[in-house]
Structure 1
Amino acid sequence: MKDQILNLFLPILIIMYGTDGKVFRVSKMECRSLDPSFTYFETCKVTRMENGRSFLYINEVILYKDPINHITLNLGAFKTANNRRIQFLNETLDFCVLGQQLLANKFFKFLMTPLMRFSNVNGTCPIQQDIIVNGFSVDENTIKEIPIPNGDYMFQLRTSLLKKWRTVVRVYATRVDKYSE
């Protein structure tokens, strides 16, 4: 039901707010392991260019050595204003069937499709390697289609491995009409 409502209103939001020239300026990123005996982050950084564009780098080291075939992702999106966070998206999906669900869930598609191009994650299970995101570019060509108005946002990706929440990655960004020249 929730996806049907999203599919109904998403085109309306795109028409209302448009997507031309709307970009995200990333201010910071936080990566946190909820179980350091299972996984930890070796790298978690944002590299910002002078023109406002950013690149995200993550290297998550997984200490658990057996294949991991139960992976759940939870994506939250929050509008931030006046020291408050208003959550407008809270979606959860099974990563091991990501291929089918990615097409059904528009927000996961907007965020995960470009992210997977810059990572060693291919959307199949089991996972047996560290997770590496090497220079995910946040520019005019990535995630601009997300139909939200200008303002400050926090995007949160929580990961459950073997039925236990293990990591939280938060990206803080501002939606603007264009990057500073």
Structure 2
Amino acid sequence: MKAYRFHGFLLAFSLINLFQNTAAIYVTRLSNLKCKSFDEEMAVFQECRLRVVRRGLSAATVHIKVLRPITELMVNVAIYKKASGYKPFLYNTTYDLCRWKTGGIQNVLARIANNFIAEFSNINHTCPYEHDLIIQNMTVSEDKFKLMPIPPGEYM
């Protein structure tokens, strides 16, 4: 069986970070989730949704149906800052997830993202991926966002 490459990405867990300048209060909210497969013969998104758990807390669920073994998986992460519309900001990088899982990428942002996702997903080993990739009810506490190296503002 021949393994194929899958180039796709989660088009940002669109995050809105509202930082208040008074008493260092941070409010972080998942506001939007968009998913797109660039090769639907390889893998498709069966589920891509954001559910409100309670005020100020949302849970993301993503289910990627893998149709052929994935030996290369590229993930694009982009952050946009709200300033008269959303403008590209500091981070817009593409990671080779297979290389990342083998320890080949030593990036602070990638490490933080891995810590967010690890406890909610089955994406916990190196390539090839021959099974569905699932992130189930991923909630993000505002404490984790305090680790992000970004200035105050509203982001997507």
Query: TM-score normalised to the size of structure 2?
Result: 0.73
Q: Which residue of 2 aligns with 1:140?
A: 142
Structure 1 unpaired stretches of 5+: 1-16, 155-181
Give 1:153 shift: 1.5
SS in 1 for 2:144: coil
Please tell me the residue identity of whatever aligns with 1:144.
K
Please tell me the residue identity of whatever aligns with 1:107.
L
Instruction: Deviation per CA, 1:86-133: give whole Å up to 9, x if none.
Output: 23112233222214245x200111112221221010141111011100
Q: Which residue of 2 aligns with 1:161?
A: none
Greater helix percent: which structure?
1
The within-5 A match list for 1:7-46 is 21-46=25-50
Cα RMSD after superposing both structures: 2.2
Instruction: Deviation per CA, 1:141-180: give whole Å up to 9, x if none.
Output: 43431032333222xxxxxxxxxxxxxxxxxxxxxxxxxx
The within-5 A match list for 1:124-135 is 124-135=126-137
Please tell me the residue identity of whatever aligns with 1:78.
Y
Greater strand percent: which structure?
2
Q: Which residue of 2 aligns with 1:163?
A: none
The within-5 A match list for 1:1-181 is 21-64=25-68, 67-99=69-101, 100-102=103-105, 104-154=106-156
Q: Which residue of 1 aligns with 2:16?
A: none
SS in 1 for 2:117: helix
Q: How much identity, in percent, do the aligned residues show?
A: 29
Between the two proteins, the alignment pairs up a number of residues equal to 133
Greater relative CO (CA pairs within 8 A, separation 6+): 1
Q: Which residue of 2 aligns with 1:8?
A: none
Structure 2 unpaired stretches of 5+: 1-20
